[in-house]
Amino acid sequence: MNLKKENIFWVIVILTLLSTIRTFIIPLQADELTYFNISENILNGKYYQINNPSTVSPIIPFIISLFKIPGYPQLSIFLVKLFQILITIAGFRYLILILKKIEIDEKIKVILLCLTIVNPIGITYYSNLYPASVIFFAFWGIIYYCSSNSYSRITLIKILVMFVILSLTRYLYLLMWIPISFYVYNYVKHNKIEFYSFNFLKTFLIVIIPLMLWFKYVYNIESINESEISYFDRFKKDNFLVYSIKAGLGVIKHHEVSRINGLPAFASLFVPITGFRNFALSIILIVAFLFGFIFNKKKAMRSMFYSTILIMLGLILAGTGFSRYWVTMLPAYYLGFYLAYNKLKFKDKYFVYCSYLLCFIYIINEFRLNYLIINKYLLND
């Protein structure tokens, strides 16, 4: 896949990067303020939001702390947002390496990249202080390494480090240990070592210890109910599992949010309308994605598919499903749509034409948003 010769691809990349510039003039909002407040307290030796310990996942607050410059809060925020964009680009590198392993037409690979790059939800959340960019990087990095034929010690360490980063960015991604465990089994088998061998256990424990220490901290804080803001409060209610599944399926509205999410929000990943929810369209799109991947035996595709399904089920069980939660798996969805389209024996060129049309519709909409945001935050001052 030679992207250097793909002129339309680079036009889309440049126009998308121009739209990400608006992130630098938008003030912090909602969860961004929570992460920022915690990061300020970290530098004072306390993992607090205000006055009490917090169990909010720590990666984003620590990243903000890393870039914090005393007396220059705006410069600090600028540097963090720039880092978020760069880490997203690193995630796209893994995605490109995965696509190179997949036996489909080169033009389809390019269009899948274009659709992912220009997605409105991605443009918004890959460049702000939400954890989407770190998740995108670590998720696709794990899939790349787990689907590789490399069973070296350094590859194992990379997978484990990314798993720790992913899990400490959003707890739901602890589920990724399931596909990783298959890689670990093959690693042990390929290298003809024992699970209890010293070198294997040393590598495993050194990387996993930070995760163990963090969850010990979480357990202690949650057990005495001292956390100011907690992801785990929802699991302390009666019949929380049934309630969460209903919310995750979109049958009811979760009490922590302002509108129905879960499955109905899946469609909003593709329809650039704020607050768009449609259960029927979401089901059609999910069925198309599943139909495309069913019976596919390619290793890279299997790893991508199973990991995506696992996280989707986790989102339902957790009772969540904002469009920004689905955006990490967007390349898998688009690939599934193409594979379903291909199974119906339609010509690839129509898929390419329609996809490029959708890309430029997204771009036009993004420039409309750019105008509105610039007018709101700069021209009206």
Q: Is the model's pLDDT at 242 over the cut of 80?
A: no
Residue type, position 204, single letter = F
Domain ranges of the chain: 3-379
Distances from the Cα of 358 to the Cα of 25, 90, 112, 118, 119, angstroms: 27, 25, 12, 9, 10
Provide mean pLDDT across the span 158-179.
90
Residue 186 CA to residue 182 CA, distance in Å, equals 6
Confidence of residue 135 (pLDDT cuts 50, 70, 90): very high
Average pLDDT of the chain is: 84
Least confident range of 50-64, 83-97, 159-173, 265-279? 265-279
Q: Is the model's pLDDT at 144 over the cut of 90?
A: yes
First vs last Cα of the chain: how many Å apart? 47
Predicted pLDDT at 51: 79
Provide mean pLDDT across the span 103-109.
87
pLDDT tens-place string over residues 6-29:
788 888 889 888 888 888 888 888
Beta bridge partners of residue 48, listed in sequence order: 53
Predicted pLDDT at 232: 64
Predicted pLDDT at 377: 78
Q: Could you give the percent of the chain with pLDDT greater than 70?
A: 90
Higher pLDDT, 210 or 206: 210
Residue 329 CA from chain centroid, whole number: 7
Residue 373 CA to residue 357 CA, distance in Å, equals 24
Strands (DSSP E) contained in 321-364 are: none
Provide mean pLDDT across the span 42-53.
82
Predicted pLDDT at 230: 65
Confidence of residue 114 (pLDDT cuts 50, 70, 90): very high
Confidence of residue 145 (pLDDT cuts 50, 70, 90): very high
Please, is 149 exposed, middle or buried when counting C-beta atoms within 10 Å of its C-beta (0-12, 13-18, 19+)? Answer: exposed
Q: Is the model's pLDDT at 229 over the cut of 70?
A: no
Least confident range of 21-25, 178-182, 250-254, 291-295? 250-254
Higher pLDDT, 276 or 64: 64
pLDDT tens-place string over residues 321-347:
666 788 899 999 999 999 999 888 888
Q: Is the model's pLDDT at 381 over the cut of 60?
A: no
